[in-house]
A and B are shown apart, each in its own frame.
Chain A
Amino acid sequence: MTVADVPPLAAPVEEGVWVRLRRRKLAMFGLILIAATLLGAIFAPYLTQFNPDEQMFDGLSITGAPMEPGGEFILGTDLLGRDLLTRILYGARTSLIIGLVANGVALLIGTFVGVTAGYFGGILGGVLMRLTDLMMAFPALLLAICLAAIFQPSLWIVAMVIATVNWVQTARVLYAETASLSQREFIAAERTLGAGHTRILFRHILPHLVPTIIVWGTLGISTTVLLEATLSYLGVGVQPPTPSWGNIIFENQTYFQAAPWLVFFPGLAIVALALAFNLVGDALRDILDPTQRGRT
């Protein structure tokens, strides 16, 4: 019996990613949360009658305390008498912008470093990977806090700071994948045919890495959202009055014993968005990465 006679193992039925994603309840739940946040951020001005920075006269009680949830202010007001729901809706813009920008930049750096090091190897690869080792030894949050304190934090600076500390994981994963891809026959064949590095990298290596990049890109947004919230909570992230979920808690935490909703609602928003991207990313990993298949 020759190799050709061996009947194929159960022929793999390749379905679209979307079809398989739709079958997973948790991933769909995540997608719905993401869509809701996105819609809330885009249509914030239509969803609420208040201005996020407006300190309302009736937003504080007679004793100057924040208003409780319910009534005119659905989620209550903060310590300056601003509507909490409005600030959370506008805060979603901050989280999403930073999540997408910071993670996009981190993904670019990570892909560039990982692929370059994995494909070219040698001294260049060695130097780049030692650089990632170096970054791994930095306490990421401490580094981010230092960086954010050095540069006067604005929305874009915070995004860049997060990107600076967040590309390492992607670089390491892509490095391993590129290094093993570069050893494969079809790459050697392509090289023998006279293809240049650019052609091999963009036509053959990168397309194979797309699933990994999508998975790590999705999971990375979750890390980014958490990092932004933490920096803003410490007061070195997005600066008030620009609302961000982290700095809402930062501004109000002195009041949190008397007014726990000021921590609870923005906290819930952070957890929900981070959870959503984790759920979708995890499902995508199961679907796109064959080595993970069957584990769940």
Chain B
Amino acid sequence: MLAYIARRLIMSALILLGVSFITFALLYLLPADPVRQIAGRSATPETVANIRAQLGLDQSFIVQYARYLGNLLQGDLGRSYLQKTEVETLIASRLPASLLLMAGAIVCELVLGLTMGVVAALRRGTGTDNTLMVVSFVGVSAPQFVVGLLMLYVFAVQLRWFPIGGYGTFAHFVLPAMTLGIMGSGWYSRMMRSSMIDVLRQDFIRTARAKGLGRARIMFRHALPNAILPIIAMIGIDVGIFMGGIVVVESVFGWPGIGQLAWQAIQRVDIPIIMGVTLVSACAIVIGNLVADIASLLADPRIKIR
């Protein structure tokens, strides 16, 4: 087990190295010139050359990447070109808001998705089942910006239950978290349904029934825990989907997280921030996958380590 985790950690570090290289190379190829953005339109060629030298952007790609990597290993993500602040400070100040949003989305996914899945499995083949599965499909097929804008229109503009956007109270949090979670709910409900149907077919459920156990006890003690197992791994994988989703959801709701930070940085060609957010996201995804795998290993001893 420890050897497995160690191997996975080394693999993850290599993957992150690869991500940093590819992102750096992509941004190096960027036709938009960050120096022009900083210097402004009226800058003289000397000023431009000065800024370029100051930022070390006049050096070769390899030198620039090596320097970035060296700083990265010391935990230094560089300075924002335009905000004149350390990137790690910016990310650290924005990360809690994004994590909160993701936590809310996970709760929404689990509550909505698992309930719908279990109910559909128990009512298999009925109208309830069909309706729930169609609803799940619609959820999976709805892009987050459409869901977000519709939620805003219905619940904030028309019904006035929630504020239109912003950050601070629980009321601000509900709509963006739901928006981020709805697509996942659809996947979870479909996964949960098929997982539940598989479990209900197993011998131990028949045994439990034969022993004369009550319906509720069979459901909650025997079927549910086993059916939820494969779903655990999904939560970790969700992190990757969330990392893209927050860019959209935070921009729709004006939620001050790292998604918004990244989106603003992309528009202003603030390369250190783009690099920083991409790396933090990649870290989160790698950790999410790792945790998912370890969690399913711990939860189900039958899974063998490859």
Contacts and interface: CB of A to CB of B under 8 A. Distances in A.
B247 A271 contact: no
Contacts of A182: none
Q: Give the interface size bracket for A toward B.
A: 35 or more
22 contacts: A130-B15, A137-B282, A138-B22, A139-B243, A141-B244, A146-B26, A146-B274, A149-B32, A150-B30, A150-B32, A236-B266, A249-B145, A249-B149, A256-B153, A257-B153, A263-B149, A267-B143, A271-B141, A275-B137, A278-B137, A278-B140, A295-B198
A260 B248 contact: no
A234 B263 contact: yes
Contact of B247 (A141, A257, A263, A275): A141
A229 interface: yes
B277 interface: yes
B286 interface: yes
Contacts of A242: none
Given A146-B27, A249-B146, A267-B149, A137 B141 contact: no
Interface of B: 11, 14-16, 18-19, 22-23, 26-27, 29-32, 134, 137-138, 140-146, 149-150, 153, 157, 194, 197-198, 240, 243-245, 247-248, 251, 262-263, 266-267, 274, 277-278, 281-282, 285-286, 289
B91 to A, nearest CB: 14
Given A271-B141, A278-B140, A146 B146 contact: no
A44 B161 CA distance: 40
Given A137-B285, A230-B248, A249-B145, A147 B134 contact: no
Contacts of B247: 141-142, 145, 234
A23 to B, nearest CB: 14
- Interface of chain B, main secondary structure: helix
A249 B277 CA distance: 27
Contacts of A263: 146, 149-150, 153
Contacts of B11: 133
A79 to B, nearest CB: 15
